[in-house]
């Protein structure tokens, strides 16, 4: 591919799938993979065809030759939805939530509803935040995935998380991330800030955040919910930034209640 080709890229994506019925597409965070949605693949397979991707350059999906940007990731998700039968309910965690919002803006007919977990408006709010996000690629290159993940994983979980849970999160991150895929994702976040543009999202939306999320948490979720027309806001107790994994029972309960209203 000499330029980003969403259709060609979609054919190379690795996904985890379960169940049958309407499509529930799951888009993981910047340090994660399809494996992070194991609790949702199990819980919703009786009602939905649950599809969780490994984003390009993550886990079992090959990297793209160049960075697609946030719009490229959104277009890639659109191709994936179309190939499974539109429209879809889209669950995006953190970075995946940003992709989901751009997907809803660029391809509104493909998005039946949005669930945005511990998401953000993007990292381009200030030059300093954008630079810090772009610096993650070189940091991963210099330290390697194991050290990089061991440093970052503890903050993703609630402060009271047991050591074994933190270790498991670090191990999962190290298995998911590599270059250039992680750097491409960081570049997309560094170039994106959706503040003021979310009012054009027409999909039904639920915004969720972990009670003890130290990465994005309540401020970002409240800002997102305030700007998406009709969006509902809910908190997941006893959870940090990885709310769908840390407290899947509470997360899935909120998700199930929202899905029942569609």
Encode pLDDT of 108-162 as tens digits: 999 999 999 999 999 999 999 999 999 999 999 999 999 999 999 999 999 999 9
- 2 contact partners, CB below 8 Å, separation of at least 6: none
pTM of the model: 0.96
Question: Which superfamily is assigned to 6-259 in CATH?
Answer: Alpha/Beta hydrolase fold, catalytic domain (3.40.50.1820)
List the domain boundaries for the chain: 6-259
Q: At 132, phi and psi to the nearest 5? A: -65, -40
- Residue ranges, the chain, pLDDT below 50: 1-2
Give the three-state DSSP class for 93. Answer: strand
CA atoms within 13 A on the CB side of 83: 17
């Amino acid at each position: 591919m000499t330029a980003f080709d969403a259709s060609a890229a979609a054919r190379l994506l690795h996904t985890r799938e379960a169940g049958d019925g309407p499509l529930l597409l799951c888009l993981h965070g910047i340090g994660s993979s399809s494996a992070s949605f194991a609790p949702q693949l199990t819980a919703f397979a009786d009602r939905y065809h649950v599809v969780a991707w490994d984003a390009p350059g993550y886990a079992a999906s090959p990297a793209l030759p160049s960075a697609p940007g946030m719009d490229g990731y959104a277009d890639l998700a659109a191709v994936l939805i179309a190939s499974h039968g539109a429209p879809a309910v889209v669950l995006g965690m953190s970075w995946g939530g940003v992709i989901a919002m751009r997907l809803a803006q660029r391809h509104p007919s493909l998005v039946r509803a949005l669930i945005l977990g511990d998401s953000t408006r993007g990292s381009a709010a200030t030059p300093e935040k954008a630079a810090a996000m772009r610096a993650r690629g070189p940091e991963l290159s210099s330290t390697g995935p194991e050290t990089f993940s061991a440093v970052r994983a503890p903050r993703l979980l609630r402060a009271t998380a047991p050591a074994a849970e933190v270790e498991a999160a670090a191990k999962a991150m190290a298995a998911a991330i590599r270059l250039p895929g992680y750097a491409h994702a960081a570049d997309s976040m560094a170039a994106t800030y959706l503040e003021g543009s979310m009012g054009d999202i027409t999909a039904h939306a639920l915004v969720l955040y972990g009670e003890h999320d130290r990465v994005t948490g309540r401020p970002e979720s409240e800002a997102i919910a305030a700007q998406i027309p009709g969006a509902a806001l809910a908190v997941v107790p006893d959870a940090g930034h990885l709310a769908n994994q840390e407290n899947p029972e509470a997360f899935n309960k909120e998700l199930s209640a929202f899905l029942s209203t569609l």
